[in-house]
Amino acid sequence: MIKIYHNNRCSKSRSGVAILEDSGKKFEIVKYLDNVPTVEELSEIINLLNITPIELVRKNEKIWKENFKGKELSDVDIIKAMVENPKLIERPIVINGDKAIIGRPPEDITKIL
């Protein structure tokens, strides 16, 4: 089943949901701010995306700038920071089987449908 990690306050994330709705395919919405992924789940998502943890971080968030920017952080440290502060996770993330994509721009989601 297709899964979208979604934040309803984000226009790109809402656009991602609309693209999935228009596709007619069944999908699950994960409100990751309420249902925060574990370190293991986030690590798996990062592997599916084929990126490094820092590439999933929203670096313009105040939390990042005030607490983490410029510090020497391991990949594990970065993943833990995202789990402890889920606002730092880039969105939307769509997973379809063994494929995943960050929906920025949202139209990119169609590449894995």
CATH number at residue 26: 3.40.30.10
**Secondary element (H or E) of residue 2:** strand 2-6
What's the average model confidence in pLDDT over 103-113? Answer: 97
By residue range, what is the domain housing residue 61? Answer: 2-112
**Reported confidence tier of residue 24, pLDDT bands at 50, 70, 90:** very high
Q: Quick one: pLDDT at residue 16?
A: 98
CA distances from 78 to 5, 28, 48, 86 (A): 18, 26, 17, 11
**In the chain, how many domains are there?**
1
Q: Quick one: pLDDT at residue 71?
A: 97
Q: Quick one: pLDDT at residue 72?
A: 97
Q: Give me the percent of the chain exceeding a pLDDT of 90.
A: 100
- Residues marked active site are found at 10
What's the average model confidence in pLDDT over 28-42? Answer: 98
Question: To the nearest whole number, what is the mean pLDDT of the chain?
Answer: 97
